[in-house]
Amino acid sequence: MSITRPTAAEVAELASDLYLSMSLEEAGQYRALMDGMFAAYDIVDAMPDMVPPVTYPRTPGYRPSGEENQYGAWYYKSEVKGAPDGKLAGKTVALKDNVALAGVPMMNGASTLEGFVPTYDATIVTRMLDAGATIKGKAVCEQFCLSGGSHTSDPGPVHNPRKMGYSAGGSSSGSAALVAAGEVDMAIGGDQGGSIRIPAAYCGIYGMKATHGLVPYTGVMPIETTIDHTGPMTATVADNALLLEVLAGADGLDPRQYAPKVGAYTEALGKGVRGLKIGVLKEGFEVPGTEEGVKDKVKAAAERLAGLGAEISEISIPEHPLTAAVWNPITLEGFTAQMMHGNGMGFNWKGQYDVGLFDAHSAWRSKADDLSKTLKICMLVGQWGLSHYRGRYYAKAQNLARRMKAAYDAQFADYDLLLMPTLPMVATRIPAPDASLEEVVARAFEMVAATCQFDVTGHPAMSIPCGLSDDLPVGMMLVAKDYDEAVIYQAAAAFEAEGDWTAF
């Protein structure tokens, strides 16, 4: 097989797309000199692709409905049994549907990707199976992971198991709902703006966005390399620490990983919080739309930690709202360039690329009208930044991200943890199918200004359920310095041991 060569007329067309003035004759002259380059393409085309081996058998699975899918949280059910023993023996796991499980369909919440079947397992899938986990299938996620509400996926809305008709949060909506409903012990989520912590908070479970690069992202569909995270969502702190222990560490294939430092997370449990210094972040309570019921429960949780011997003081980081602003150009232009123009994974990095995903996802161009409203508004702003401003605000925001990180790091010189509400509000109603554009967009993005800071800085951040407000869960967020997930687990376990949080 040889790859298709352009005609001279096609070269002239390409030239014009690239702002070049080129006559057909000149195009023909260039064309004649391309044969050596295309011969190299033929050699590449003839070689087999490099893909990680698939090590545990699985069936293609099926799409459950009715009783078997009460909350709309399952995309596919397919059982994969891992090793006979290991740290996760006896544990059941659901994967966010942007995580590749070879042989089982993956649509990442988008009809434009429907029908895609990955050919290899994500690194974290192999790690969990090697540790003895049983994978139960794929959990619905929001379209291309681009919403904090659970109303934007093409398989349909995901309901909050605590209250039908209410948002499960996004974008790891199905992952949180399945854990909250007790259908699986553990789930994998993804977080570029809050997508692990938002649904964890709305559903009342534990969700950890670990330090950027601690967990290998290989085989997970990206949004933007510098803010991509994947990680554990669980019903208990111990399970969360255990799962992170299995997931963490370099795999040699992911450009997000720069010498990650893996901790002994389960060993941090049971140590208590005596002497830990916790800064209660003033600006974390001032995010627009923050409800009194949320503030009260999170402040009460801080007092409870003080009662256990932690040293609690209020601190201020004026950069907190600025960091949320910096997230916007990075995410909107970065995702438009990488996920949309770059066919999912983009270019210019070394590691494992999913060739089949390039082929399948690139078809969004012929079905663009089917994209979600939330994706459309993000892509329109991102494209404006790229085309009108030529990406200068993306570039500037990436520089400013270092100043933002330094502002938090200055506090970590004095404090072990920062504490704040995960989200301004408790779960909201799922918008009706005929809801206005305004409502659809508001329910998707209104909470992101509380969580996205730590996607920009990369610091580890975990949502911990700490009480009910209007009968719906409130999340407390604990944040630590890079690679200090252990101290978060230490405090989370001490808080969890205080008893049933739904009674707080």
Ligand X SMILES: NC(=O)c1ccccc1
Whether residue 195 lies in the annotated active site: yes
Specify the 3-state DSSP secondary structure of 136: strand
134 vs 195, beta carbon nearer ligand X: 195
Question: Near ligand X by CB under 6 A, which window of 145-153, 241-249, 398-406, 474-482?
Answer: 145-153
Tokens read off for 147: 């919403």
Question: Near ligand X by CB under 6 A, which window of 19-27, 102-110, 142-150, 263-271?
Answer: 142-150
Distance CA 139, CA 225 (A): 22
192 lies in the binding site for ligand X (CB under 6 A)? yes
Q: Are 239 and 495 in contact (CB under 8 A)?
A: no
Distance CA 256, CA 352 (A): 12
Q: Are 448 and 228 in contact (CB under 8 A)?
A: no
In angstroms, give the least distance from the CB of 194 to ligand X.
5
Q: Judged by CB under 6 A, which of 121, 183, 185, 191 binds ligand X?
A: 191
22 vs 145, beta carbon nearer ligand X: 145
124 vs 146, beta carbon nearer ligand X: 146
Q: Judged by CB under 6 A, which of 112, 126, 153, 195 binds ligand X?
A: 195
Size of the site for ligand X (CB under 6 A): 13
In angstroms, give the least distance from the CB of 192 to ligand X.
4
232 lies in the binding site for ligand X (CB under 6 A)? no
Q: DSSP secondary structure string, 236-261?
A: SHHHHHHHHHHH-S--SS-TT-SS--
Residue 270's contacts (CB-CB under 8 Å, 6 or more residues apart) are 493
Task: Kindly report each contact of residues 260-264 with a partner whose C-beta sits within 8 Å and lies 24 or more positions away, as own/partner.
Answer: 260/211, 260/213, 260/214, 260/483, 261/214, 261/482, 261/483, 262/214, 262/483, 263/483, 263/484, 263/485, 263/486, 264/486
SS3 of 430-475: the string is CCCCCCCHHHHHHHHHCCHHHHCHHHHHCCCEEEEEEEEECCEEEE
In angstroms, give the least distance from the CB of 247 to ligand X.
18
222 lies in the binding site for ligand X (CB under 6 A)? no
Whether residue 16 lies in the annotated active site: no
Q: Are 186 and 243 in contact (CB under 8 A)?
A: yes
Helices then strands (H, E): number in the chain? 16, 13
Would you give the binding string for ligand X spanning residues 13-52, x where CB under 6 A is met? ----------------------------------------
Contacts with ligand X in 158-187 (CB under 6 A)? Answer: 171
193 lies in the binding site for ligand X (CB under 6 A)? yes
In whole angstroms, how far apart are CA 243 and each of 93, 234, 272, 485?
10, 9, 21, 12
128 vs 145, beta carbon nearer ligand X: 145
Q: Pick the catalytic residue from 78, 147, 150, 171.
A: 171
Which helix (H) or strand (E) segment holds residue 42: the answer is helix 35-46
In angstroms, give the least distance from the CB of 478 to ligand X.
18
Question: Near ligand X by CB under 6 A, which window of 16-24, 49-57, 144-152, 425-433?
Answer: 144-152
147 lies in the binding site for ligand X (CB under 6 A)? yes
DSSP structure class, residue 363: G
Q: Omega of the bond prior to 147 within 30 degrees of 0, cis? A: no
Tokens read off for 205: 């479970």
Q: Pick the catalytic residue from 175, 195, 372, 463.
A: 195
Q: Are 308 and 274 in contact (CB under 8 A)?
A: yes
SS3 of 317-357: the string is CCHHHHHHHHHHHHHHHHHHHHHHHCCCCCCCCCCCCCHHH
Q: Judged by CB under 6 A, which of 371, 401, 448, 466 binds ligand X?
A: 448
Question: Near ligand X by CB under 6 A, which window of 60-68, 92-100, 191-199, 494-502?
Answer: 191-199
Q: Judged by CB under 6 A, which of 94, 128, 135, 145 binds ligand X?
A: 145
Tokens read off for 351: 């590691």
Whether residue 96 lies in the annotated active site: yes
Contacts with ligand X in 416-445 (CB under 6 A)? Answer: 445
283 lies in the binding site for ligand X (CB under 6 A)? no
334 lies in the binding site for ligand X (CB under 6 A)? no
Question: Near ligand X by CB under 6 A, which window of 109-117, 192-200, 232-240, 256-264?
Answer: 192-200
247 vs 448, beta carbon nearer ligand X: 448
Binding residues vs ligand X (CB under 6 A): 145-148, 171, 191-195, 223, 445, 448
Catalytic sites, residue numbers: 96, 171, 195
